Amino acid sequence: MNTAVSVFPSSSPSTPVAVAVDHGVQLAPMPEVIAAIAAGRPVLVMDDADRENEADLICAADNLTEATMALMIREGSGIVCLCLMPGHAGALGLRPMVEVNRSSFATAFTQSIEAAHGVSTGVSAADRVQTIRCALQVPAPGGAPQIVSPGHVFPLVARPGGVLERTGHTESAVDLARLAGRAPAGVLCELMNPDGSMARGADVARFAQAHGLLCTTVQALVAYRQGLQALAEEGGQGSGRAPAAQEAVGEPA
């Protein structure tokens, strides 16, 4: 079996204690997953077996590194997506990829993008990081975005309510970024095996161990957010103010 040396140091001196197992994959406590996102490390997020049944490499967009992008390109499907809130996508002038979305899970792809400056072919890890950095810059009213179309990064528009509205990887990426105190935007890429098949179960566990990555599921994130929501409701009754962690994920103004 091939071994790999992680370029992402552990989020703590000791190995995280798994709180659950999903299809043979140990799941890290959600606070540790959020801490990894805050520190600029990618995590693996799996969805339900009756949905896409896949694992995505996910990180926050505003602290994305070339090392993480290279990992996504090398080990993932190669289709790197930038997950944005509707208002941000609208400010960039991004139009839906198709007028009528007939995909199985209504994944909200827009037209692909490229940085308007600072890139060569747009394909390299450095170029795709530059594209995402440019896309995070919302233009002033009347100003031009720092991106052009088409390109090699694929924006996805998340539902405003996050995973509580749609249990997708798109919403998971944005929710994790917001919970981590980062800008409300995430980057994802589906995890694939060397033979081109999608990584599942033991494949995901091996990859996570080889690269020192934490794992979680969309449903675990849903449960975590529901818990925060319940705490916010209890806190709101007593103080009139929701806990900060919940406010960070609340719907935008």
Spell out the domain ranges in the chain: 20-225
- pLDDT, tens only, 65-92: 999 999 999 988 889 999 999 999 999 9
The correct CATH number of 20-225 out of 3.90.870.10, 3.30.499.10, 3.40.50.2030, 3.30.70.360 is 3.90.870.10
Q: How many CB atoms within 10 Å of residue 86?
A: 14
Q: How many CB atoms within 10 Å of residue 18?
A: 14
Token pair listed for 158: 């998340």
Q: What is the pLDDT of residue 237?
A: 58
Residue 9 pLDDT more than 50?
Answer: no
- Using a pLDDT cut of 70, give the percent of the chain over it: 79
Mean pLDDT on 112-141: 96
Q: What is the pLDDT of residue 70?
A: 96
pTM over 0.85: no
ω before 150 within 30° of 0 (cis)?
A: yes
The bridge status of strand 113-115 relative to strand 147-157 is antiparallel
Q: Mind giving me the DSSP string for 45-72?
A: EE--TTTT--EEEEEESTT--HHHHHHH
**pLDDT level of residue 50 (50, 70, 90 thresholds):** low
Residue 8 pLDDT more than 70?
Answer: no
Q: What is the pLDDT of residue 10?
A: 41
Q: What is the pLDDT of residue 100?
A: 65
Mean pLDDT on 14-36: 76
Residue 36 pLDDT more than 90?
Answer: yes
Residue 128 pLDDT more than 60?
Answer: yes
Q: What is the pLDDT of residue 91?
A: 95
DSSP letter at 82 equals E
117 vs 7 pLDDT, higher one: 117
